[in-house]
Amino acid sequence: MIAALIGLPLLGATVLLLGGRRTNAWGHFLAVAMSAASFLLGAFLFLQMAGKSEEEREVGQHLFDWISVGAFQVPFGLHLDQLSIVFVLLITGVGTLIHIYSIGYMEHDPNRRRFFAYLNLFVAAMLLLVLADNYFLLYVGWEGVGLASYLLISFYQQKPTAAAAGKKAFIVNRVGDVGLSLAIMLMFVTFGTVTFEGVNAAAESGSSSAITWIGLALLLAACGKSAQFPLQSWLLDAMEGPTPVSALIHAATMVTAGVYLIVRAHAIFDLSETARTAVVIVGAITLLLGAFIGTAKDDIKKGLAGSTMSQIGYMILAAGLGPVGYVFAIFHLLTHGMFKAGLFLGAGSVMHGMHDDVNMRHYGALRTMMKITYATFGLGFLAIIGVPPFAGFWSKDEIIYVAFSQSMVIGLATLIGAGVTAFYMTRMMAMTFFGEARWEDDVHPHESPAIMTIPMIVLAFGSVFGGMAMLFVGDIEHWLEPVTGFAKPEHSVSHSVLIPITLAVVVGGALFAWLRYGRRPVPVTAPTDVRFLTRAARADAYGDALNEAVFMRPGQYLTRSLIWFDSKAVDGLVSGLAAATGGLSARARRLQNGYVRSYALTMLGGAVLIALVLLLVRL
C-alpha cells in the first residue's frame, strides 16, 4: 500500500516519458489522475492511521534487500508514521491542486506532456524522500527531487538564463549532497547502520564528536536543499521555471526537505548542543536575509522566493531549538505549504493575465480586474504576515514564542523577521492590486479560467482555516509527539504579552509599506539613486558576487592553469623523455608512414628477448 503511493505517480511519469507524442492528447489528464489517486490513497492511509491507537500507527514495508556489502546493509524499505503521513498529504494534496492548475497554465505550451511527466516524477521522488526508512534510500528521493527541480527550472531550455539557473540549482545542491554523503558515511562508521530505527536506537552510545559532526553534515545537506545561508543563492534564480513549479517545488514541498531531514534526524540533534546551535544560527541568518532580499524585489516571483527562504529560515530555526521546536517547525512547514503555494499560484494567475510580465512596477490596481486572484492572494497575504486567525498566525506565533524561551537574541530575530515580512508582503499587495494602473495599452488584464482559480480557492481555504484545523482539530503537537518528541518550554514571555507585541510589529511593518507604496505612486522604472541597503537587497545581498569571487573565478583560473600544465609539463615531459631515449620519435615517424611491418619485427624481437632472458634465468 505504501509503495503504491510512490508507484502511481512514477507510473504516470514513465508512461508520459516513454510513450512520447502518442500521449500528448491525454497525458496531462493521466498525470493529474495519478497524483490524485496517490492523494486519495494517502488520505485513506491517514484515516486508517488516525483510527489506530498511538503505538500502532507506525507501519513499515520492506520491499527487498537493496545493498549488502560486508556490514553495509541497506534495505529498500518504506516507513509510514505520523510525520511522513502529513508530508504525504501535503505533497499529494498541494501537488494535485497544482497539477490541475497547470492544465490551464501550460495549455499552450508545446512541451506540456513533458512538463506533466516531470511533475509526476517530482511527486514520486518527494514521496520516496519522506517514506524511505533509511538515510541511503532517502538520498535517492533527495536527489530525485533535485533532478525534477533541475529539469523544471530549466524547462524553457531555449532560454539561456533558464538553462543556467537549473544548472546552478543542481550544483549548489550538490555541495549540500556532500554533507548528506558524509553524514551517511559517518553514521555507517559510527553505528554500523543507516536505518532510521538503527541510528535512533544507537545514537546515545555514539561519541559526542561523531554525533556533532553527523549533525553538522546533515545541516549542510539541509542548507543546500532548503536554500539556507550560505547555500541560498540558487533559489532566486530557480524562479526561471514555470510558476506552478515555483509553487510546488520551490515553495511548498521540495525546499522544505531540509526541515524534514533535521526533524527526522532528531535523535542526532537532541544529543548535540553544538549542532543545534549551528542550525539555529543558520535559520536566524536566513530568515532575516530572505526577508531583507524580499523588500527590494520588483519581480513578484523573486519577492516570493526571498519570502520562502525567510519562512524556511523560521522552520530551520524552530527545528534547531530541539524538542520544544520540532513540532512547530513541521506545523509552520504545513501552513506555509498551503499559503505560499496559494500566493505563488496567485502570482502565476496575475502573470497569466499580464502577458507573463513579472515586474510589479507594471502592475497596479488589479483588484478590480482579477477579483478571485485578489481575494485568494489577499487571504494568503493575511496568513503569511500572521494576522489572527489565519493559518500563519498560529504557526509563526508558536515559533516566536519558543524562540524567546530559548534566547532573547533569537526571539528578537524572529520578531524583526515578522515585521519585515509584513513590510514586503504589503508592498507586494500594494504594488500589484492597489494604486493606479501602470500597464501598457496592449496589455489586457483578465481573470484566469476556473481550472486555475479553483485550486487557488481551495488553497485559500487552507490559508484561512489550515492553522486552526491542525492545531485544534488535528492536535498537531500530540499527533507528532511520538515521532519527534515534544516539550513545553520552561520559561518564556507569556503569550498574552507576546501576541500584542508581535501584532504591533506586524501592523507597523505593514503600515510603513502602505505609506511608501500604497499611498504614493509607484514609478514604472525602478529608481537608481537608492541607498546602499536597497542596492544590496536588489543584488540578493551579494550572494552571487561572493560565489563568483570565491569559487568560480579561482576555479576557472585553476582549470586553465591545469590545462596548460597538462599539455606543456606532463605531456611535454613524457614526449621529451621519449625523444631523448634513443630516437623513439624517429621510429614513430617511420611507423606513422605505415610501416607496421617494422613494428611486427620489433615485437618479434621482444619475444625473442623474453625467451632468451627466461633461458638465462633457468641456467
Binding status of residue 617 toward another protein by CB under 8 A: yes
Binding status of residue 189 toward another protein by CB under 8 A: yes
Binding status of residue 450 toward another protein by CB under 8 A: no
DSSP state of 462: H
Nearer to another protein, 197 or 447 (CB): 197
Please, which of residues 209-228 interact with another protein by CB under 8 A?
A: 210
Q: How far apart are CA 85 and CA 130, in angstroms?
A: 9
Nearer to another protein, 368 or 559 (CB): 559
Q: How far apart are CA 262 and CA 316, in angstroms?
A: 8
Nearer to another protein, 74 or 91 (CB): 74
Give the residues across from 57 on adjacent strands: none
Member of 409, 562, 601, 608 binding another protein (CB under 8 A): 562
- My answer on whether omega of the bond before 455 falls inside 30° of 0, hence cis, is no
Nearer to another protein, 66 or 512 (CB): 66
Size of the site for another protein (CB under 8 A): 80
Please, which of residues 2-31 interact with another protein by CB under 8 A?
A: 17, 20
Please, which of residues 519-558 interact with another protein by CB under 8 A?
A: 555, 558
Nearer to another protein, 185 or 450 (CB): 185
Member of 539, 571, 598, 604 binding another protein (CB under 8 A): 571
What does the DSSP assignment read for 234-302?
HHHHGGGS-HHHHHIIIIISGGGHHHHHHHHTHHHHHH-HHHHHHHHHHHHHHHHHHHHHHTT--BHHH
Q: How far apart are CA 592 and CA 419, in angstroms?
A: 77
Q: How far apart are CA 545 and CA 536, in angstroms?
A: 11
Q: Are strands 59-69 and 72-80 parallel, antiparallel or unpaired?
A: antiparallel
Q: How far apart are CA 138 and CA 136, in angstroms?
A: 5
Member of 53, 205, 496, 528 binding another protein (CB under 8 A): 205
Q: Locate cell 523588500: which residue?
A: 295
Are 299 and 424 in contact, with CB atoms under 8 Å apart? no
Nearer to another protein, 409 or 607 (CB): 607
Binding status of residue 197 toward another protein by CB under 8 A: yes
First to last CA, the chain: 76
Question: Taking contact as CB under 8 A, which single stretch among the options 191-199, 328-336, 434-442, 449-457 is the one that binds another protein?
Answer: 191-199
Question: Taking contact as CB under 8 A, which single stretch among the options 63-71, 242-250, 440-448, 465-473 is the one that binds another protein?
Answer: 63-71
Binding status of residue 158 toward another protein by CB under 8 A: yes
Q: How far apart are CA 108 and CA 262, in angstroms?
A: 40
Member of 7, 198, 449, 482 binding another protein (CB under 8 A): 198
- My answer on whether omega of the bond before 554 falls inside 30° of 0, hence cis, is no
Cα 536 to Cα 96, 239, 295, 493, 510, distances in angstroms: 38, 19, 11, 34, 22
Member of 3, 11, 59, 164 binding another protein (CB under 8 A): 164
Shortest distance in whole angstroms from residue 573 CB to another protein: 8
Binding status of residue 201 toward another protein by CB under 8 A: yes
Instruction: Tell me which residue of 34, 234, 59 sits closest to 122, measured CA to CA.
Output: 34
Please, which of residues 70-129 interact with another protein by CB under 8 A?
A: 70-73, 75-76
Q: How far apart are CA 558 and CA 567, in angstroms?
A: 14
Q: How far apart are CA 415 and CA 424, in angstroms?
A: 15
Instruction: Tell me which residue of 138, 144, 125, 234 sits closest to 180, measured CA to CA.
Output: 138
Member of 473, 592, 597, 619 binding another protein (CB under 8 A): 592
Member of 1, 178, 524, 550 binding another protein (CB under 8 A): 178
Nearer to another protein, 71 or 473 (CB): 71
Judged on CB neighbours under 10 Å (0-12, 13-18, 19+), 580 is: exposed
Shortest distance in whole angstroms from residue 86 CB to another protein: 24
Shortest distance in whole angstroms from residue 546 CB to another protein: 17
Please, which of residues 459-478 interact with another protein by CB under 8 A?
A: none
Member of 39, 122, 142, 517 binding another protein (CB under 8 A): 142
Binding status of residue 188 toward another protein by CB under 8 A: yes
Q: How far apart are CA 13 and CA 522, in angstroms?
A: 45
Nearer to another protein, 154 or 310 (CB): 154
Binding status of residue 440 toward another protein by CB under 8 A: no
Nearer to another protein, 160 or 389 (CB): 160
